[in-house]
């Protein structure tokens, strides 16, 4: 008795075989191309992830009004907005002096040959209106934050704002606060209910004032490791203008800010101890450990300290969003009332 023949169904037609043979390689090539370009975009912003993206995100999520309806969605949108603006800055920054990256960061897209300088410049000019369009989607206050950041980025890169250490620190302060403001507004639940002046009133963001002064007095921590490279491109940073004083200042300024902020915010004792202790370790590292690799490590630790500073700003906003400012305004109002009463009495 013969065994039954197995049935495998109809064989695919030659047309389908030929189509699949042509389609699969094209899909693979397309997916590889997309992956390549996404990696290129990532490499433009890679350096700023730990130094800017993470700290500013912590700042925004810690100080923005809590959005209970869609917290995850708002947080992801805030991160996306921040990253898109950072991409714009990096496209500007890395196309102005590509030879500097060839020496210090050869893995970046332009020096590594992943993208030509011409195409990167085209992407740079596209990114500016693109960021404005993305920002306008989140409202006029966010658009203003984007425009302010683009202005300071242009000063930094196109008008030699990075050439003098003191001006560079100021621009870094204003630029970081513009980023923090925009990211906070995107992360907030609703910033469109009030007028523009009410939304952007300085009393709504007291932590930004503290953050600004922390940045302009300490951000030259990033320049110790790049003294030789900066000298080669004609940049005159604070560690070059004041080589010894800038080193000596670090174990003074960092702990001073830590103590002042901890006293203002009154965090848990263990957190204050870590915060102040870390600032002293970092400060003395900058003073006594002066090799390039040591300065790189000290700068990483500085960013940890800056993140802790931002955590304290969040605690301040959550605990007493208007307490400090209310007391200041009350004091000013009382002083004004007393002066007015004295003048009226004198007039009588």
Please tell me whether residue 47 adopts helix, strand or coil conformation: helix
Q: Which of 221, 209, 293 is nearest to 251 (CA)?
A: 221
Read off the DSSP letter of residue 219.
Answer: G
Please tell me the CATH code under which domain 40-201 is placed. Answer: 1.10.357
CA distance 216 to 222: 12
CA distance 186 to 179: 11
One digit per residue, pLDDT tens: the chain, 348 residues? 445 555 455 555 666 565 566 666 666 666 777 788 888 898 889 888 888 898 898 888 887 776 666 778 888 999 999 999 999 999 998 998 787 777 778 888 898 888 899 999 999 999 999 999 999 998 899 999 999 999 999 999 888 888 888 999 999 999 999 999 999 899 886 655 566 777 777 677 888 888 999 999 999 999 999 888 888 778 889 999 999 999 999 999 999 999 999 998 888 899 899 999 999 999 999 999 999 999 999 999 998 999 899 888 877 766 654 444 444 344 434 444 454 444 444 444
Please tell me whether residue 164 adopts helix, strand or coil conformation: strand
Decide if 181 contacts 259 (C-beta within 8 A).
no
Token reading at 35: 């992956």
Which residue blocks in the chain are alpha helix, DSSP H? 14-45, 47-48, 54-63, 71-96, 98-104, 109-112, 117-137, 140-158, 165-187, 196-199, 206-218, 227-232, 238-241, 243-265, 269-288, 292-319, 323-347
Decide if 52 contacts 307 (C-beta within 8 A).
no
For the CA atoms of 328, 67, 84, 235, the dihedral, rounded to the nearest 10 degrees, stands at: 20
Please tell me whether residue 10 adopts helix, strand or coil conformation: coil
For the CA atoms of 73, 78, 80, 84, the dihedral, rounded to the nearest 10 degrees, stands at: 160
Token reading at 22: 């042509």
CA distance 66 to 184: 11
Domain boundaries, the chain: 40-201, 218-320
Note if the pTM is more than 0.85: no
Read off the DSSP letter of residue 70.
Answer: S
CA distance 315 to 310: 9
- Dihedral-angle region of residue 235 (phi above 0 means left; psi in -120 to 50 means alpha; beta otherwise): beta
Enumerate residues 6+ apart whose C-beta is below 8 A from 183.
Answer: 56, 57, 59, 60, 78, 79, 81, 82
Q: Which of 235, 240, 268, 272 is nearest to 257 (CA)?
A: 272
CA distance 61 to 176: 15
Please tell me whether residue 236 adopts helix, strand or coil conformation: strand
Q: Which residue has the tokens 């007391």?
A: 327
Count of C-beta atoms within a 10 Å radius of residue 178: 22
Token reading at 244: 């010894």
């Amino acid at each position: 008795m013969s065994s039954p023949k197995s049935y495998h169904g109809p064989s695919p037609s030659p047309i389908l075989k030929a189509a699949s043979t042509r389609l699969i390689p094209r899909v693979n090539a397309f997916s590889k191309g997309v992956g390549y370009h996404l990696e290129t975009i990532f490499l433009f912003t890679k350096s700023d992830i730990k130094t800017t993206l993470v700290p500013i995100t912590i700042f925004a999520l810690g100080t923005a009004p809590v959005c209970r309806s869609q917290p995850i969605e708002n947080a992801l949108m805030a991160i996306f907005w921040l990253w898109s603006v950072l991409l714009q800055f990096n496209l500007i920054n890395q196309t102005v002096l590509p030879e500097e990256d060839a020496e210090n960061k050869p893995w970046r897209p332009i020096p590594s040959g992943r993208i030509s300088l011409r195409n990167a410049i085209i992407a740079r000019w596209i990114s500016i209106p693109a960021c404005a369009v993305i920002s306008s989607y989140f409202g006029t206050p966010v658009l203003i934050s984007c425009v302010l950041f683009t202005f300071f980025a242009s000063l930094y890169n196109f008008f030699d704002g990075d050439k003098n250490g003191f001006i560079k620190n100021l621009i870094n302060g204003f630029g970081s606060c513009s980023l923090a403001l925009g990211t906070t507004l995107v992360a907030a639940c609703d910033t469109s209910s009030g007028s523009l002046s009410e939304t952007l009133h300085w009393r709504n963001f007291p932590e930004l004032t503290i953050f600004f002064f922390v940045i302009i007095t300490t951000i030259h921590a990033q320049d110790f490791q790049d003294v030789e490279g900066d000298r080669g491109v004609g940049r005159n940073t604070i560690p070059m203008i004041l080589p010894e004083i800038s080193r000596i200042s670090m174990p003074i300024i960092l702990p001073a800010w830590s103590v002042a902020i901890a006293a203002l915010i009154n965090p848990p004792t263990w957190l204050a101890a870590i915060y102040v202790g870390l600032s002293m370790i970092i400060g003395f590292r900058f003073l006594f450990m002066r090799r390039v690799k040591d300065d790189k490590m000290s700068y990483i630790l500085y960013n940890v300290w800056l993140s802790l500073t931002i955590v304290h700003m969040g605690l301040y906003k959550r605990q007493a969003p208007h307490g400090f400012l209310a007391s200041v305004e009350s004091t000013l109002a009382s002083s004004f009332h007393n002066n007015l009463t004295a003048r009226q009495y004198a007039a009588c």
